[in-house]
Chains A and B, each alone.
Chain A
Amino acid sequence: MQQEVFVQMNNICKTFGSVRANYNINFSVNKGEIHALLGENGAGKSTLMNMLSGIYKPDSGSVFIHGKAVKFNSPKDAINQKIGMIHQHYKLVEVQSAKANIILGQAGSLFVNEKKISSEIKAISENYGIPIDPDKKVYNMSIGEKQSVEILKVLYQGADILIMDEPTAVLTPQETEKLFKIIKNMAKEGCAVIIITHKLHEVMAISDRVTVLHKGTTVATVKTKASSPKELTDLMVGKAVNLSIKRPQVNRGNAALKIADLVAYDQDKVKVLDGVSFDLFEGEILGVAGVVGSGQKELCEAIAGLYAVNSGSITYNAENILGLSPRAIIKRGITMSFIPEDRLGMGLVASMDMVDNYLLKAHHNQTGIFLKRKPIMAKCEHMINQLEIKTPGIHHPIKQLSGGNIQKVLIGREIETNPHVLITAYAVRGLDIGASHTIYDLINDQKQKGVAVLFIGEDLDVLLELCDRIMVLCDGKITGIVKADAVTKEELGLMMAGEAISC
């Protein structure tokens, strides 16, 4: 391998307000190398890469690209230095075509020469083996196609340093395989590829070297072959950790919730739930796997009474609760708790304090026209102690807490009502390993109490370890409900891609 250094970052520092995101970070990538950047959420990976792509400016430190010292004032400067970033949350304009997105922001003739650009895109896509329809609108694309557009966009810009932020987070295992092939092609063509990830097996599978970040500092840069997943984890977390998730054995009880033939459409009249039927039992965790946008959100919201369903039934205690408003569900004493994906946008009110957030559902059950905050204050204090929530006080706005503590407030409020059914959507998204495990423990506690838990997850490893059964959704259909200890990740991947498997 040639040892031409493409990227060299020295002593990079960056703070946001009082948060030190990056401190004296050193990082380098060679030509033709696939370099993994590993670290927990909040370790500073994205911040570092956003500085390399010109989105943020470092407070101090120096950056050398292709051996030249550079200072980026905007993404344009980075693009001019042949750096391309593929963001975790795709930065695409939905109403525009693939082509328009690919040429976005590039210099060229005032009028767009459609034919010429299409043939240029075709050439690149054949060279790297990335299939694409240049005239397809982004809003009609699958996740995988959107990613192809992102990749082609940076290649079209002529980038030879590619940064990919969590590129596999939303892909099935099979799609991931295809992506890795493309990445290897790019390295072969002489590009330097940086992959940000926290999935260890992917690091082991694809990278040449790994740089591990912890709390905004560089811990080590090691050759992948000379390392092991265990060593990398310990470096990443900063201490030796036990990575396994517990799965306590609980005798399954009765069906708490019976879902039959749910069918729902979205605003554009597209079927988002297509004949979904399953039973959720007391004392079990039923995991839900699927590519993002396969109907998970709609399923949760339909059960919680937030999404209009066209037909089917949701039976709780021999009563069909389909079509009841959340208020009516609360009023009937159905103790169902829903931890939505969007914590601050749906589960909580960001600018309010803990007490007022606690009141969100509780105030319906208070009598009279005035709120009773006093009894709630005591409950909040109790919750802070029990769940070890770090906050300056119960009257502090929720939005100023850390992600893990925000999630604790939300889950704490929901389990306080002693629910019979608990629905969680992406409960650990954005949380670090420690906080994630606290959440898993809380969910396991509920299961042991006999609560029926529906766990929407994105990390297949977590689903396999935590859940009793796993249900896979694809395009709003159930492609299989399987025992978690009798299925492999590859099988789940096939089901996520739409292949029904009989188990």
Chain B
Amino acid sequence: MITAFFTAVIIAGTPLLFATLGELITEKAGHLNLGVEGMMLIGAVAGFGVGLYTSNPIFAMIAAMIAGAASALIYGFLTVTLRANQVVSGLSLTIFGTGLSSYIGTAFVGQKLSEGIINFYNPVAIPLLSEIPFIGQIVFNQDIFIYFGYLLAVLVGIYLYKTRLGQNLVAVGENPAAADASGINVNLYKYVHILMGGALCGLGGAYLSIVEVPQWQDNITAGRGWIAIALVIFCKWNPYKALFGAYLFGGLSIIGFRLQQFNISQNLLDMLPYLVTIIVLVLSSVKHSKESAPPQGLSVPYFREER
């Protein structure tokens, strides 16, 4: 019973993990993209649609990534090339994504994905590791997508902290003028990471529509994109901490079902993740240190010939 709960926690946390890592990379490049919700929805609907018509689980995920990246491209063009206000551009992307996914998704309501796809995402026990008592069943008896999530968090961490490219990215987000003077192509870095961020958000959305739910619902993300943005602040721009943050919030979002037996209204319990997000945001705003602060260049447009 408890094992089943924690297994479900990890499943519920996975879309959050992908979206959080996506937004984290984007913010590291100095761009606050409030369009996470929109990109997740577009990824979710693209993934579901392609999954429906091709019955190919890999194509579906690739489509979700491309769709997420394509929607991030709109944001990137507005904020990098046209230097538009990042807050407003991100908000519009969310409005766009909500509308577009609902528009396209109308045709998918009530349709079922093929067995092939569903089975592809059945849990796979990792030999030996899954034998570890308690933890093994929860962490290492999951679908391959979840394993990819673990791997991705670690990869992003290594990329940011150990590689030259990652260090250059940090410089772009912290002080684009310094990065520029050091010969780094600032706009290229921004575009690449905004697109990568969008692709990961798209993937997070697709996990929802293809694996977790798995069917099309209007507005399937139900605010998870916004929680992901809060999670980036909560995890202090650290991908390893994002792993824990995502599962913590995954737990909160499903705890409602478990508590129903105590005769508490489902609607009140549904407030929980949103309430906790607020509390977490307040708590993480209280402490400030140089190392855990947001990138200095966040939300500030950069233009070399400005004077």
Contact = CB atoms under 8 A, between A and B. Distances in A.
A101 B291 CA distance: 16
Interface residues of A, number: 34
Interface string A104-127: 111011111000000000000000
Interface in A87-138: 87, 91-96, 100-101, 103-106, 108-112, 137
A85 B181 CA distance: 8
Contacts of A75: 180-183
A262 B21 CA distance: 46
Contacts of A106: 164, 182-183
Interface in A7-40: 16
Interface string A50-86: 0001011000000000000000001110111000010
Contact of A93 (B175, B291, B305, B307): B175
B156 interface: no
Contact of A94 (B165, B174, B177, B183): B174
B183 A105 contact: yes
A267 interface: yes
Contacts of B258: none
Contacts of A137: 290
A231 interface: no
A112 B183 contact: no
Given A76-B183, A105-B183, A267 B288 contact: yes
Given A105-B171, A111-B163, A112-B164, A93 B178 contact: yes
B7 interface: no
B179 A104 contact: yes
Contact of B291 (A95, A100, A110, A267): A95
A319 interface: no
Nearest to A53: B181
B162 A74 contact: no
Contacts of B183: 74-76, 78-80, 105-106
A60 to B, nearest CB: 16
A95 B182 contact: no
Contact of A96 (B165, B171, B180, B304): B171
A93 B180 contact: no
B167 interface: yes
B175 A94 contact: yes
B290 A139 contact: yes
A491 to B, nearest CB: 35
Given A110-B165, A139-B290, A105 B174 contact: no
Interface in A137-153: 137, 139, 153
A93 B163 contact: no
B162 A112 contact: yes
Contact of A105 (B163, B182, B291, B305): B182
B284 interface: no
A117 to B, nearest CB: 11
A268 B290 contact: yes
B168 A105 contact: yes
B119 interface: no
A248 to B, nearest CB: 37
Nearest to A16: B307
Interface in B169-196: 170-171, 174-175, 177-185
Given A55-B304, A112-B163, A93 B170 contact: yes
B296 interface: yes
A104 B163 contact: no
Nearest to B185: A74
A interface, by DSSP: helix, strand, loop or mixed?
A: loop
A104 B165 contact: no
A493 to B, nearest CB: 29
Contacts of A78: 183
A105 B290 contact: no
A75 B304 CA distance: 11
Nearest to B167: A100
Contacts of A55: 180-181, 304
Contact of B178 (A53, A76, A104): A104
A159 B288 CA distance: 38
Nearest to B158: A111
B170 A96 contact: yes
A393 B266 CA distance: 64
Interface in A405-421: none
Given A111-B163, A139-B290, A95 B174 contact: yes
Nearest to A92: B178
A103 B170 CA distance: 13
B167 A95 contact: no
A499 B151 CA distance: 56
A105 B175 contact: no
A111 B162 contact: yes
Contact of A16 (B171, B178, B305): B305
Contacts of B182: 75, 79, 91, 104-106, 153
A108 B164 CA distance: 8
A104 B185 CA distance: 12
B164 A96 contact: no
Contacts of A76: 183-185
Given A16-B307, A75-B183, A105-B171, A91 B178 contact: yes
Interface string B263-307: 000000000000000000000000011110100100000001101
A76 B186 CA distance: 11
Contact of A110 (B163, B170, B179, B305): B163
Contacts of A87: 181
B288 A92 contact: no
Contact of B171 (A104, A108, A267, A268): A104
A149 to B, nearest CB: 11
Given A55-B304, A105-B179, A112-B162, A94 B290 contact: yes
Nearest to B295: A95
Contacts of B184: 76, 104-105
Nearest to B289: A268
A297 B171 CA distance: 27
Contacts of A101: 178
A351 to B, nearest CB: 15
A103 B174 CA distance: 16
B290 A91 contact: no
Most chain B CB inside 10 Å of its own CB: which residue of A56, A87, A95:
A95
B289 to A, nearest CB: 8
A96 B167 contact: yes
Given A95-B290, A104-B171, 8 more contacts: A85-B181, A87-B181, A91-B181, A103-B164, A104-B182, A105-B184, A110-B164, A137-B290
The 5 A-B residue pairs with the shortest CB-CB distance in the complex, in nearest-first order: A76-B183, A105-B182, A91-B178, A105-B184, A104-B182
26 contacts: A55-B180, A55-B304, A78-B183, A80-B183, A85-B181, A87-B181, A91-B175, A91-B181, A92-B178, A93-B171, A93-B175, A94-B174, A95-B174, A95-B290, A105-B171, A105-B179, A105-B184, A106-B164, A106-B182, A106-B183, A111-B162, A111-B164, A112-B163, A153-B182, A267-B288, A268-B289
